[in-house]
């Protein structure tokens, strides 16, 4: 019986629209396209909420979103009155831990979710490599491992005479360039794009280079006569959407005021700021509980009065007037919390009418998507190019990020090919990236991760 192999590649920031644009007029990604022809393309694949790197990377490899992993990036702890950052926590079980428990050796190239969660630096069987650098560095390491060349993980050297049966690979070039920073070591000669077309073009250029490297890996597998026995899964954690101009956070505060809320606070990194409805300023709460008037990140020559706020306290609802509202932002979208008895659906409907807001989801709607109930009472996502950044002083020229409910962030690339996978199938049913690893586990006859919620997509399995 031939040995079966598995290669999982996660290309951070690989929004589906990048692939579509790259292949609009020509075969822009021939090697990805060959995999699609030989396997299954997920035509309607989505990520979870919030679409932020570590929560989603851990969700994919645990087969569940934050209702299981408990990592929703950040949340406001109502009991203790503070903003909690989830960092790299994951209460779910990873596929790496499953493989480790079965004594099935594997390697991870920069797939940080598995570091100390199934593999480690310098381990004999379950090896974590962190070469850093851009895609070239990481693909070189992968090719050296397949070729049986000497490689190192921190203080230990390895020669894999046979390719490891399970390989996890992570590259974040598409994310790094997609954010459109002034400088990135991933492409030191690149200049910051000033138009959306230029930003996208930069990402697609790198996507094509990555596609070439994927082709080289495929050729190596064929040379080793193991390509037909190798299941290859490629997907992503999120896409990317541009934003520019000044923050809409003050417009949101105004909208909440007009609904009738009088007690509005903004939290960032455990600094709490109270909105003063009379002076239209954010009053920072210092550690000694004394108030200090401060326009958040505004210089002394900038006035918030230019927004022409009108204090319309039309609501006769005592519950609304007495409710404390907490706003937390992750850059583009923001989380709202209400300390009081509030009809969330009613508030959502009112906010959804604001011209700068694209979509709102209530706590119940978020729970239906597998999101931890502590993540937000209402999640507010703005329209393209709008944002709720707490840097009020900056008029952004063109940046991009992925914490958004917009389709460009939510819809991601996904393909799988293998000896037990149907060939040339376009899978059009809506699916999620947490479905992919449980499906691969079923194909590879590996037990699912404890607490896995992802669906096994039986329709693509032979």
Q: What is the pLDDT of residues 363-378, one digit of tens each?
A: 999 999 999 999 999 9
What is the enclosing helix (H) or strand (E) of 253?
helix 249-259
- In percent, the amount of the chain with pLDDT more than 90 equals 81
Residue 294's pLDDT band (boundaries 50, 70, 90)?
Answer: very low
10, 57 in Cβ contact below 8 A? yes
Rounded distance between C-alpha atoms, residue 235 and residue 412, angstroms: 7
How is residue 54 written in tokens?
A: 């570590």
pLDDT of residue 258: 93
Dump pLDDT digits (tens) for 322-353.
Answer: 788 999 999 999 999 999 889 999 999 999 99
Q: Answer whether residue 283 shows pLDDT above 90.
A: no
Q: DSSP letters along 263-282, please?
A: EEEEEETTEEEEEETTTTEE
Distance of CA 32 to the CA centre of its chain: 22
Q: In the predicted model, is pLDDT for residue 318 greater than 70?
A: no
Q: Which pLDDT score, from 0 to 100, does residue 310 have?
A: 35
Rounded Cα gap, residues 174 and 399, in angstroms: 14
From 14-28, 219-233, 271-285, 320-334, the region with the lowest mean pLDDT: 271-285
Tell me what the mean pLDDT of segment 201-224 comes to.
Answer: 98
Cα three-residue angle 272-359-296, rounded to 5 degrees: 25
pLDDT band at 269 (very low <50, low <70, confident <90, very high): confident
* Residue 274: per-residue pLDDT: 56
How high is the pLDDT of residue 26?
85
What is the reported pLDDT for 351?
Answer: 98
Q: Give the model's pLDDT for residue 275.
A: 58
Mean pLDDT of 266-273: 72
pLDDT value of residue 281:
62
Instruction: Round to whole Å and give the CA distance between 206 and 225.
Output: 29
Mean pLDDT to the nearest integer, 309-323: 52
Q: Where in the chain is the domain with CATH 3.40.720.10?
A: 5-73+88-240+406-460
Asked whether residue 304 carries a pLDDT value surpassing 80, the answer given is: no
Helix residue spans in 336-461 (DSSP H) = 344-351, 363-368, 407-410, 436-444
Q: Which residues sit opposite 109 in a β-bridge? A: 129, 169
Cα–Cα distance measured from residue 16 to residue 151, given in angstroms and rounded to the nearest whole number: 33
Give the mean model confidence (pLDDT) for residues 386-395: 92
Burial class (CB in 10 A: 0-12, 13-18, 19+), 339: middle
Average pLDDT (238-247) is 97
Q: Tell whether omega for the bond before 220 is within 30 degrees of 0, i.e. cis.
A: no
8: helix, strand or coil:
strand
Q: Confidence band (pLDDT; 50, 70, 90) for 308?
A: very low
CA 356 to each of CA 138, 353, 380, 381: distance values in angstroms, whole numbers, following the listed order = 41, 9, 10, 9
* CATH code for residues 5-73+88-240+406-460: 3.40.720.10
User: Which residues pair with residue 85 across a beta bridge?
Assistant: 74
Residue 287 has a pLDDT of: 45
Q: What pTM does this model have?
A: 0.92
> Does pLDDT of 312 surpass 50?
no
């Amino acid at each position: 019986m031939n040995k079966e192999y598995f290669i999982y590649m996660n290309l951070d920031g690989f929004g589906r629209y990048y692939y579509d644009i790259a292949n609009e007029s020509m075969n822009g990604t021939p090697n990805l396209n060959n995999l699609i022809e030989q396997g299954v393309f997920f035509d309607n694949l989505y990520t979870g909420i919030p679409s932020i790197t570590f929560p989603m990377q851990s969700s994919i490899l645990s087969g569940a979103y934050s209702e299981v992993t408990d990592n929703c990036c950040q949340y406001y702890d109502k009991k203790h009155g503070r903003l909690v950052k989830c960092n790299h926590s994951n209460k779910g079980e990873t596929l790496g831990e499953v493989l480790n428990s079965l004594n099935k050796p594997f390697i991870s190239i920069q797939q940080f979710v598995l570091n100390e969660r199934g593999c480690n630096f310098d381990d004999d069987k379950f090896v974590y490599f962190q070469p850093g650098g851009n895609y070239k560095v990481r693909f070189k390491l992968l090719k050296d491992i397949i070729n049986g060349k000497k490689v190192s993980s921190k203080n230990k050297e390895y020669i894999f005479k046979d390719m490891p049966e399970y390989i996890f690979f992570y590259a974040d070039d598409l994310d790094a360039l997609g954010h459109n920073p002034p400088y990135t070591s991933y492409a030191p000669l690149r200049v910051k794009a000033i138009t959306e077309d230029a930003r996208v073009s930069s990402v697609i250029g790198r996507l094509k280079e990555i596609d070439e490297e994927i082709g080289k890996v495929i050729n190596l597998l064929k040379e080793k006569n193991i390509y037909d026995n190798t299941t290859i899964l490629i997907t992503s954690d999120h896409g990317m959407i541009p934003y520019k101009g000044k923050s809409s956070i003050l417009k949101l505060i105004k909208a909440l005021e007009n609904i009738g809320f009088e007690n509005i606070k903004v939290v960032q990194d455990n600094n709490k700021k109270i909105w003063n409805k009379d002076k239209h300023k954010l009053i920072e709460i210092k550690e000694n509980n004394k108030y200090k008037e401060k326009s958040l990140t505004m210089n002394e020559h900038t006035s918030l009065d230019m927004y022409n706020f009108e204090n319309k306290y039309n609501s006769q609802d005592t519950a609304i007037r007495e409710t404390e509202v907490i706003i937390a932002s992750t850059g583009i979208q923001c989380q709202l919390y209400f300390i009081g008895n509030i009809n969330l659906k009613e508030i959502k409907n009112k906010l959804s009418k604001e011209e700068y807001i694209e979509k709102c989801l209530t706590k119940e709607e978020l729970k239906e998507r597998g999101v931890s109930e502590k993540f937000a009472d209402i999640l507010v996502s703005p329209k393209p190019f709008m944002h709720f950044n707490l840097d009020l002083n900056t008029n952004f020229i063109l940046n991009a990020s992925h914490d958004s409910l917009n389709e460009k962030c939510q819809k991601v690339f996904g393909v799988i090919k293998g000896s037990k996978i149907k060939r040339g199938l376009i899978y059009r049913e809506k699916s999620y990236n947490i479905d992919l690893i449980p499906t691969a586990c079923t194909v590879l006859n590996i037990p699912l991760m404890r607490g896995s919620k992802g669906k096994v997509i039986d329709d693509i399995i032979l």
